Chain A
Amino acid sequence: MTSASVEIRPSNRPKNVLQKVSIPWIVVFTHMFVILLLPLAALLLRAIVLNPAQFWALATTPIALSTYNITFGTAIVAAIVNMLMGTLTAWVLVRYEFPGKRFLDGIVDLPFALPTAVAGVTLATVYNQSGWLGQFFAPFGIQIAFSRVGVAIAMVFVSLPFVVRTVQPVLQEIEPTIEEAAWSLGASRFATFWKVILPPIIPAILTGTAQAFARAVGEFGSVVLVAANIPFQDLIAPVLVFQRLEGADIPGATVIGLVLLLISLILLLIINLLQAWGRRYDA
């Protein structure tokens, strides 16, 4: 008995150790280290060199504060638009049959596949004062391209698929019979929606909205082209980082970049928590 267990143990142990430092592990850590963690550490180290007072001063210059304000204000608007229209789109795609449904379902992902620079050039042309869509707003004195409205539209564009694609599968799983049951028991349509359909899809809606918001806050390519990039008007934080780097103001760029990084880390944490919440709802 004892000899048998002794025989098994040695052959098992080295194998376990080997499995833990197997080729996949080595690849994962090397790649992550070289591509992501080392550059990330470099950015953090360069910010640490600055003393806190310097850091604070650079992070809160009037221009920087106005870019946070514009970035967040516009990203919130874009996220809300995506939350409402994304949920509605998912609903329409799951519940209704209509001509062009497959086409609509197919183009939802287009903003992810289309390069942001292409989106920016296109939106700037279509929404300028004489553009295909901009011309309808110009007579009312509404300027879309090269203003905050244009920034918001670019943000809506690039984060369009998130809410649709998170809500769609959850909505698909809800049996229409539950809804019909509520209906036949005398619930009004509003009550049915509010009490039967909405609760299970809320985690998905919030996850998608948070993802859309995170994407909108960090968006650069489409916004830099659709905005006039004038401080206090429509200059967003990522573009400010870019401008500071171009002007060789490296500490200035580093500080704003780090602020953006911290914000995206917080948003990532929120998204992960929301997803965990969604899974709990599942079970």
Chain B
Amino acid sequence: MTLNLETHAPIGEREIHPQDSREWAKIGLILLVFAFFTVILIVPVIYVFVGAFSNGLPGFLGTLSSRPFLNALRLTLMAVAVAVPLNVIFGLCAALVIARKSFRGRTFLLSVIDLPFSISPVVAGLMLVSLYGRQGLLNPVLQAIDLRIIFSFPGIALATILGGMPFVAREVIPVLEEIGDEEEEAAKTLGASGWQTFWRVTLPSIRWALVYGIILTTARAMGEFGSIAIVSSNLIGRTQTLTLFVDSSYRNYDSQGAFATAVVLAGLAALTLVIKQVLEHLYAQRHRVK
């Protein structure tokens, strides 16, 4: 009997006591994470909105209707319009090649596609200047055909394309690998052409990943800064994208203007996150049904 009691007591203690301290540990860890996010992320993001409205709504709207802002918005949208379609086509082709074909150097190709992720934006800008700049390798050719790339829109577009290159491929490859190529092969044996197979079989099964990749590419294209700061002459109203506009407004002590523009960019960023969450939700539902 005494032996029984002795073995029982510690077990009882073990079950109740740790449970209690576990609860406290849980609350402590959650609070720690929230404190970290508050200091690093939440407070700064709230400040973007407060700063934007420091001169009230008229100040905010004043910035958004000013010529420099509208020109910057136009230039950003133009860069997005050029960069996103090109990167989407590239990303799709790269994904098809990497996920569907086995060849030597597959991993190497994947690493090269990933390069823009790990290269500093400043180095990306420097690369473009080395090629197209006044002392660049292609300068004689560019002068002969009177084409200006650095300090004008083509340079901005190239920098934007470079920064967003890997996103679509990175999103689509895992999905293509997961679904396998059985359905595609089946379609081909039934006589479908390459295009038909792509449109009717491959594209529908990767559409969520593709849309997600497009969103990320677009977000990156709108936020591109470091490389554009190098290849653009940063002339107000002419070669200034939205991020350059934020930078120059802030440096010229127009912090309200900088934050108003930041709100627009942050709003677009938040929108991409919302769309992303919705897509993930839809995707999860679809999988559960299957």
Residues of A whose CB lies within 8 Å of any CB of B are 19-20, 22-25, 27-28, 31-32, 35-40, 42-43, 45-46, 85, 88-89, 91-92, 96, 98, 100, 104, 106-107, 109-126, 132-133, 153, 156-157, 160, 189, 214-215, 217-221, 225, 238-239, 241-242, 245, 250, 253-254, 257, 260-261, 264-265, 267-269, 271-272
Residues of B whose CB lies within 8 Å of any CB of A are 18, 22, 26, 29-30, 32-34, 36-37, 39-45, 47-48, 51, 86, 89-90, 92-94, 96-97, 101, 107, 109, 111-131, 133, 135-138, 158, 161-162, 165, 194, 216, 219, 222-226, 229-230, 242-244, 246-247, 250, 255, 258-259, 262, 265-266, 269-270, 272-273, 276-277
- Report yes or no: A117 in contact with B247, Cβ–Cβ below 8 A: yes
Which 8 A-B pairs give the minimum distances between C-beta atoms? Answer: A218-B120, A115-B223, A113-B269, A39-B127, A24-B93, A42-B131, A220-B226, A42-B130
- Report yes or no: B123 in contact with A261, Cβ–Cβ below 8 A: yes
- Report yes or no: A43 in contact with B243, Cβ–Cβ below 8 A: no
- Report yes or no: B137 in contact with A45, Cβ–Cβ below 8 A: yes
Number of A-B contacts (CB under 8 A): 246
Question: Bound complex: CA of A32 vs CA of B87, how far in Å?
Answer: 10
Contact A28:B243 (CB < 8 A) given known A89-B33, A253-B126, A257-B123: no
Most buried by B among A23, A42, A238: A42
Contact A125:B93 (CB < 8 A) given known A42-B127, A113-B272, A118-B266: no
Collect the chain B residues with CB atoms within 8 Å of residue A219's CB. 120
- Report yes or no: A254 in contact with B51, Cβ–Cβ below 8 A: no
Can you list 10 A-B pairs with a CB-CB distance of less than 8 A?
Answer: A24-B94, A36-B112, A36-B165, A39-B127, A45-B137, A117-B246, A122-B47, A218-B118, A245-B129, A260-B122
Main secondary structure of the interface of B (DSSP, over half): helix
Return B35 CB to nearest CB of chain A, in Å: 10
Question: Bound complex: CA of A215 vs CA of B122, how far in Å?
Answer: 12
